[in-house]
Amino acid sequence: MALPQRYETTRVNMNLPSKLVEKLKAYSEQIGMPMTQTVTLLLNQGLESKVVLEELPKITTMYHDYKESQYNSKTDSLI
């Protein structure tokens, strides 16, 4: 009996470097996950990391502005 799928899937056939496939297999075995789920996990992590890296300059600017406003409010209260 097949388990119900939680999301729609698409079959993807691609050629990957053999050394990369060996690394994927080793990692899959290490974490005890089937190869398909391992590839899905790694792709999701990579894409999420990309989004974070794209937003990092904005986050850094917001943090800098916040710290500067704290500093300014402390110096204003001393005057």
* Mean pLDDT along residues 4-31: 91
Torsion of CA 36, 41, 47, 53, to 10 degrees: -150
Asked whether residue 12 is domain-assigned, the answer is no
If you average pLDDT over residues 24-39, what whole number do you get? 95
pLDDT of residue 38: 95
Q: pTM higher than 0.85 for the full model?
A: no
SS3 64: helix
Tell whether 40 is covered by a domain: yes
Q: Which domain holds residue 38?
A: 21-78
Residue 67 lies in a domain: yes
When divided into structural domains, the chain yields a total of 1
For residue 50, being part of any structural domain is answered with: yes
Task: For residue 32, tell me if it sits in a domain.
Answer: yes
What is the mean predicted confidence (pLDDT) over 5-28? 91
Task: Please say if the pLDDT value at position 58 is more than 70.
Answer: yes
Residue 14 in any domain: the answer is no
Residue 11 within a domain: no
Mean pLDDT of 16-38: 96
